[in-house]
């Protein structure tokens, strides 16, 4: 056989094609629809999986090489940060509450993303799509772990982090992020990739990882900044996967367009509701603010998402439903959310507070149309009440939206003074919603959403009491027992920041660093 | 035309990359935030391997961008020589 | 104000997370423990999967095997993402150096033609077998129970993809890209591959994830790797093909490392109960018989007259391996 002395170097695109394409084959001893049983039931039609383009074209050797380099850097910083008591460098101990939300509410979702992408990475019949999904599955376990590892040292010194694997499955507001991901993974593989790969990753995660993480850096939290940016560098790959997946489905068959459109509508709304928590973190929980939620929303959703939807218009895709309401609401939702958590602070695993004058002025300047008119008076009133010893705690378990599971605290489109209620009847029962968006989602798939594990209902049904609780005994305290079931340590994890263990310890430890007594 | 963007960590490794992007894309705008930069550009934005190599004095594989990349937007096309983001509308 | 925080000695409130303290006591946990234990949700699921409404998203009844604590199936390598990637990056660097060396010294030019052809026939279609290994480990990762065993399966899945790619690279060094298509054609049509392909396709429709784990990671790999990377490697080395060994370094090291993990899983699962042991023994017997007979035509082609002895050795080695795990075949 004649062999050339030196073979010519293959280009990136060619090389990647040989390394990935045609590894699979049309099975004949078992039918393809048994090997890939979930590829068709959602109604998405794929004619040629070879048309899938993976723009990043990473082979495993390159993946290991670059990811190892990221990991080396990340863990060197985490180690140094921990050894130097870096947690005492944050601007204020209030800040730490925002990363409690991160560990409890977001890291478990990273884990779910890992399992979900393993599932669709097994189930898609096309090689390039499978490889991209499995690589994302691998990245997602990285994100869960690097977050846990970075925040582990905070857990040693502050409350509210200590039982995150339990809290995500039990605490009332944790059902918001949890149900979001359960919803995505329990959907079919194509809906999953639209929900997570496209709506969540491409349209929404920039809001969490870019401005919030930049805010962590601004507040002296190098650990969070490092894992955040390091994770987001993988997200760049994930976003291109999400965009590729959408384009691929739209190009494969015109019949896919209305199905995909409905998923875009649903998952933009679902993601938008979920990100209310991030809005609150940015506007209320970062002692030094980087930008307001509204500004971040304008850059990353309106401008960037807008460009994206303009790009997709050629396939017949229109921007997601309810944009008008979303645009109106950006002046309101972060304030409405903070007001809710302030009222329910006794039932949470992080601390709350009322903004200082300085912070209220910042909020007024960022929200000139809404803050002074609707929220400042309420907050000033609550602050005064607290000073007079009448700290307001809401002790009634709130009604939850059947779809997004957020308490019914949002207001009517265009009228921030009136709470929005919607309802649907299904098989003899009445279901309640916070918005038209959430009602639409339910009405399309009622059999799915009637299954929701709503914490408020579960408490009333007696399914959320601590181990060994006896609700028939005379001195039974139901709320104390619920806190026990949740893993929330009453008087330590919950309540006001003012007077909390966190506040006292942080000040004492900082004091040790700055004077000799 | 819509805006594409590339966000990178701000550190010693990215400085020459940012410099070369700004030189090759005169229409781009540099926005600095804590610990990161975001480069916005109307329509499209290209990172060129050769320009980065001129500045760092060693061979550069565009896949190395992964290490310090934070985020991006736009349709991506990557070859051995160029990394391009663009919107079609 | 710059404060020197290193000088401050403060007493932590707790040493670790509650779920780890419950298992190991309140002491600092390893990163493996933090990144593994109890990460998978176990209760209060919101919706049944539309693709499998008979089960919860994560459900113990997707296998017949039963464990009191699924986290007993821990990884002796203690791989979490960081340690896994660093380990593979080191191996990748060594493999890269070998490929570079072979390429720059043009060592393949000295490969006898018959050995080159044999390697193309015997090894190139193995990229499809590795692809099957990737599929099956993705399955276990997705539908298995408990992060302790599902986590290493995504690593194993991606390793199999990496191996498929190393074999592809070797093929591209040995021949023109058309050789890949020829190997694929052989995989789908040539008689010597059909039994193995049939077995692999049957594994794709297996439902019980622990049975699949055994079929793929213990039986297929446990018989195929010694056949190819030991017996066949010796065979071609004696015929002037020692350079191939350099290109397969990743696979040999990988098999040695991952076998320890696989063995630990089987050992712990079998020791859990007599029922588990019985189940595992039956699974191993059934799959061993099928895989051995599926490998016979390949062995005959690869080793000619030495095939029968090699298969007998393989079977003996395999029985000895599982005997150490407490399983008598």
Whether the full predicted model's pTM is greater than 0.90, yes or no, is: yes
> Which DSSP category does C226 fall into?
I
Q: Do residues B8 and B68 make contact, with C-beta atoms less than 8 angstroms apart?
A: yes
**pLDDT number for residue C53:** 97
pLDDT at A4: 47
Closest-approach residue (CA) in chain B for A305: B73
- Residue C177 pLDDT > 50: yes
- Is A214 in Cβ contact with B36 (below 8 Å)? yes
Distances (CA, A) of A447 to A190, A265, A451: 19, 19, 7
Judged against a pLDDT cut of 50, whether residue A141 lies above it is answered with: yes
CATH 3.30.930.10 assigned to B3-86:
no
Tokens representing A403? 């779809």
The reply to whether residue B73 touches residue A210, judged by beta carbons under 8 angstroms, is no
**Rounded CA gap, A34 and A47, in Å?**
18
Q: Taking all residues of chain A, what is their mean pLDDT, rounded to a whole number?
A: 94
Packing angle between helix C147-174 and helix C178-189, nearest 10 degrees? 120
Interface test with C, best of A122, A177, A449 (most C CBs within 10 A): A122
CA distance A232 to chain C (A): 16
DSSP A412: E
* Least confident among A154-158, A413-417, B66-70: B66-70
Which residues of chain B lie closer than 8 angstroms to A235, CB-CB? 71
Q: What percent of chain A has pLDDT over 70?
A: 98
Integer Cα distance of A291 and A284 in angstroms = 11
pLDDT of residue A516: 66
Distance from CA of B50 to the nearest CA of A (A): 16
Residue range A187-207: average pLDDT? 91
Q: Verify whether the Cβ–Cβ distance C48 to A175 is below 8 Å.
A: no
Residues of C with Cβ-Cβ distance to A3 under 8 angstroms: 108-109
How close, in Å, is residue C301 to chain A by CA atoms? Answer: 21
Question: Residue A418's pLDDT is what?
Answer: 96
Is it the case that residue A223 has pLDDT exceeding 60? Answer: yes
The predicted-structure confidence for C34-64, as pLDDT tens digits, reads as follows 999 999 999 999 999 999 999 999 999 999 9
CA distance C283 to chain A (A): 20
CA distance A101 to A276: 12
CB-count burial class (<10 Å; 0-12, 13-18, 19+) for B57? exposed
**Which subunits sit against C, judged by 3+ Cβ pairs under 8 A?**
A
φ/ψ (deg, to 5) at B3: -95, 130
C220 pLDDT higher than 80: yes
**What digits encode the pLDDT tens for the residues A265-291?**
999 999 999 999 999 999 999 999 989
Chain B residues 59-78 with CB within 8 Å of chain A: 63-64, 66-78
CB A145 within 8 A of CB C82: yes
Which positions ≥6 away from C153 have C-beta within 8 Å?
A: A118, C137, C138, C140, C141, C144, C213
Give the chain A residue whose CA is nearest to the CA of B9. A229
Task: Break chain A into its structural domains and give their ranges.
Answer: 49-505
Predicted confidence at residue A413, as pLDDT, reads: 93
- The pLDDT-based confidence of A9 (bands split at 50, 70, 90) is confident
Q: CB distance A55–B78 less than 8 Å?
A: yes
**Subunit contact A239:B73, Cβ cutoff 8 A:** yes
First CA to last CA across chain A, in angstroms? Answer: 84
Q: Does residue C304 sit in helix, strand or coil?
A: helix
Contact present, A402 and A431 (Cβ < 8 Å): yes
Residue B22 reports pLDDT greater than 80: yes
pLDDT of residue A6: 55
Residue of A nearest to C94 (CA): A61
Query: Does the beta-carbon distance from C41 to A1 stay under 8 Å?
Result: no
CATH topology for C71-323 is Ribonucleotide Reductase, subunit A (1.10.620)
Mean pLDDT of C227-237: 97
Cα four-point dihedral sign C207, C211, C215, C218? positive
Write down the domain spans for chain B: 3-86
Length of chain A counted residue by residue: 517
**What would the mean pLDDT of C313-324 be, rounded to a whole number?**
97
ipTM of the complex: 0.97
Average pLDDT over residues C221-227: 98
A95 in reach of chain B (CB within 8 A): no
Sort out which chain A residues have CB atoms less than 8 A from C82's CB and list them: 71, 74-75, 142, 145-146, 149
> What H or E segment, with its residue span, contains residue B16?
helix B14-24
pLDDT band at residue A202, thresholds of 50, 70 and 90? confident
Q: Do A and B share at least 3 CB pairs under 8 Å?
A: yes
pLDDT, tens only, A29-64: 999 999 999 999 999 999 999 999 887 889 999 999
Is residue C5's pLDDT more than 90? no
Position C140 confidence tier, pLDDT thresholds 50, 70, 90: very high
Task: Indicate the CATH number for domain A49-505.
Answer: 1.10.620.20
Task: For chain A, say whether C169 makes contact (Cβ under 8 Å).
Answer: yes
Distance CA A507, CA A158 (A): 12
pLDDT mean over B10-19: 94
How far apart are the C-alpha atoms of C213 and C70, rounded to whole Å? Answer: 15
DSSP class of A392: -
Q: A55 in contact with B at a CB cutoff of 8 Å?
A: yes
pLDDT, residue C2, reads 47
Q: Does C11 touch chain A (CB under 8 A)?
A: no
The maximal CA–CA distance of chain A, rounded, in angstroms, is 94
Closest-CA residue of C relative to A78 is C31
pLDDT at C86 over 70: yes
Q: What is the pLDDT of residues A237-257, one digit of tens each?
A: 899 899 999 999 999 999 999
Convert the pLDDT of each residue in A345-360 to its tens digit: 999 999 999 999 999 9
Q: Say how many CA atoms lie within 13 Å of A165 toward its Cβ.
A: 23
Q: Please name the residue of chain A whose CA is at the shortest distance from the CA of residue B4.
A: A304
Average pLDDT estimate for A464-470: 93
Beta-bridge mates of residue A424: A431
Contact check, Cβ <8 Å, A304/B5: yes
The whole-number pLDDT of residue A210 equals: 84
Contact A233 B73 (CB under 8 A): no
Mean pLDDT of A168-186: 97
- Smallest CA–CA separation between A123 and chain C, in Å? 9
Any idea where the domains of chain C sit in the sequence? 71-323
pLDDT band (50, 70, 90) for residue B34: confident
A514 — pLDDT class (breaks 50, 70, 90): confident
User: Which of A390, A268, A417 lies closest to A335, judged by CA?
Assistant: A417
Is residue A1 very low, low, confident or very high in pLDDT (cuts 50, 70, 90)? very low
- Percent residues over pLDDT 90 in chain A: 84
What's the pLDDT score for residue A448?
98
Name the nearest CA neighbour of A215 among A232, A204, A196, A228. Answer: A228
Measured over the CA atoms of residue C118, residue C119, residue C124 and residue C125, the dihedral's sign is positive
Q: Do C and B share at least 3 CB pairs under 8 Å?
A: no
CA separation for the pair A258, A482 (Å, rounded): 44
């Amino acid at each position: 056989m004649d062999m050339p002395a030196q073979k010519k170097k293959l280009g990136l695109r060619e090389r990647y094609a040989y390394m990935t394409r045609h590894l699979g084959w049309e099975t004949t001893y078992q039918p393809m629809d048994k090997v890939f049983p979930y590829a068709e039931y959602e109604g998405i039609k794929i004619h040629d999986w070879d048309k899938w383009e993976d723009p990043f074209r990473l082979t495993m050797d390159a993946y290991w090489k670059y990811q190892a380099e990221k990991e080396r850097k990340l863990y060197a910083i985490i180690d140094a940060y921990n050894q130097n008591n870096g947690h005492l460098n944050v601007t204020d101990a209030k800040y730490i509450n925002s990363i409690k939300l991160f560990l409890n509410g977001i890291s478990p979702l990273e884990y779910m993303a890992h399992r979900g992408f393993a599932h669709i990475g097994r189930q898609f019949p096309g090689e390039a799509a499978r490889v991209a999904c499995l690589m994302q599955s691998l990245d997602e376990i990285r994100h869960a772990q690097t977050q846990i590892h970075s925040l582990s040292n905070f857990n040693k010194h502050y409350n509210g982090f200590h039982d995150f694997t339990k809290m995500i499955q039990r605490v009332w507001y944790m059902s918001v992020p949890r149900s979001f991901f359960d919803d995505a993974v329990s959907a079919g593989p194509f809906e999953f990739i639209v929900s997570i790969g496209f709506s969540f990753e491409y349209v929404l995660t920039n809001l969490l990882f870019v401005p919030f993480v930049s805010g962590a850096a601004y507040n002296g939290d190098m650990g969070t900044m490092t894992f955040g940016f390091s994770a987001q560098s993988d997200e760049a790959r994930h976003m291109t996967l999400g965009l590729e997946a959408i384009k691929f489905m739209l190009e494969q068959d015109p019949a896919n367009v209305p199905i995909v459109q409905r998923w875009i509508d649903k998952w933009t709304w679902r993601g938008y509701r979920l990100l209310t928590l991030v809005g609150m973190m940015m506007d209320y929980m970062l002692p030094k603010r980087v930008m307001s939620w509204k500004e971040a929303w304008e850059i990353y959703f309106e401008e960037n998402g807008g460009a994206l939807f303009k790009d997709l218009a050629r396939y017949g895709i229109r921007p997601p439903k309810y944009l008008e309401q979303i645009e109106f609401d950006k002046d309101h939702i972060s304030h409405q959310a903070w007001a809710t958590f302030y009222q329910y602070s006794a039932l949470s695993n992080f601390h709350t507070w009322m903004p200082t004058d300085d912070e209220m002025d910042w909020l007024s300047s960022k929200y000139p149309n809404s803050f002074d008119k609707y929220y400042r008076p309420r907050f000033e009133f609550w602050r005064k009440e607290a000073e007079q010893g009448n700290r307001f705690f809401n002790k009634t378990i709130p009604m939850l939206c059947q779809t997004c599971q957020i308490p019914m605290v949002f207001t009517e489109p265009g009228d921030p003074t009136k709470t929005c209620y919607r309802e649907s009847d299904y098989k003899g029962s009445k279901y309640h919603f916070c918005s038209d968006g959430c009602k639409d989602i339910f009405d399309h798939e009622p059999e799915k959403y009637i299954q929701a594990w709503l914490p408020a209902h579960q408490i009333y049904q007696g399914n959320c009491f601590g181990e060994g609780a006896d609700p028939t005994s005379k001195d039974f305290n139901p709320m104390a027992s619920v806190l026990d079931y949740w893993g929330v340590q009453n008087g330590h994890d919950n309540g006001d920041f003012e007077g909390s263990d966190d506040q006292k310890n942080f000040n004492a430890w900082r004091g040790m660093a700055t004077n000799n007594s | 035309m819509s805006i594409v963007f590339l966000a990178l960590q701000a550190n010693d490794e990215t400085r020459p990359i940012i410099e070369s992007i700004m030189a090759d894309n005169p229409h781009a705008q540099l926005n600095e935030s804590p610990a990161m930069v975001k480069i916005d550009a109307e329509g499209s934005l290209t990172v060129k391997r050769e320009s980065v190599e001129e500045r760092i004095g060693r061979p550069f594989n565009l896949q190395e961008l992964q290490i310090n990349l934070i985020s991006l937007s736009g349709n991506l096309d990557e070859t051995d020589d160029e990394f391009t983001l663009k919107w079609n509308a | 104000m710059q404060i020197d925080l290193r000088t401050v000695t403060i007493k932590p409130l707790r040493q670790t997370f509650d779920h780890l303290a419950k298992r190991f006591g309140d002491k600092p946990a390893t990163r493996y423990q933090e990144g593994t234990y109890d990460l998978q949700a176990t209760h209060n699921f919101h919706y049944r999967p539309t693709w499998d409404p008979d089960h919860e998203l994560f459900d113990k009844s997707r296998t017949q095997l039963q464990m009191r604590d699924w986290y007993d199936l821990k990884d002796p390598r203690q791989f979490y993402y960081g340690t896994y990637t660093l380990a593979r990056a080191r191996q990748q660097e060594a493999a890269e150096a070998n490929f570079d060396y072979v390429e720059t010294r043009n060592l393949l030019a000295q490969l006898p033609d018959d050995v080159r052809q044999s390697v193309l026939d015997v090894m190139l279609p193995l990229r499809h077998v590795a692809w099957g290994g990737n599929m099956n480990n993705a399955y276990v990762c997705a539908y298995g129970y408990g992060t302790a065993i599902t986590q290493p399966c995504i690593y194993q899945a991606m390793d199999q993809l990496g191996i498929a790619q190393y074999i592809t690279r070797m093929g591209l060094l040995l021949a023109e890209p058309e050789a890949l298509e020829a190997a694929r054609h052989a995989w789908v049509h040539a008689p010597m591959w059909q039994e193995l392909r049939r077995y692999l396709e049957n594994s794709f429709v297996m439902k019980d994830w622990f049975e699949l784990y055994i079929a793929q990671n213990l039986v297929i790999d446990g018989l195929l790797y010694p056949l190819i990377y030991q017996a066949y490697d010796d065979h071609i080395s004696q015929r002037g093909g020692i350079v191939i060994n350099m290109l397969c370094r990743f696979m040999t090291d990988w098999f040695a490392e991952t076998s320890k993990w696989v063995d630990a899983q089987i050992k712990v699962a079998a020791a859990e109960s007599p029922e588990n042991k019985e189940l595992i023994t039956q699974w191993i017997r059934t799959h061993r018989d099928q895989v051995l007979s599926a490998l016979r035509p390949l062995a005959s082609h690869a080793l000619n007259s030495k095939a029968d002895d090699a298969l007998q050795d393989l079977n003996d080695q395999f029985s000895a391996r599982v005997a150490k795990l407490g399983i008598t075949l």
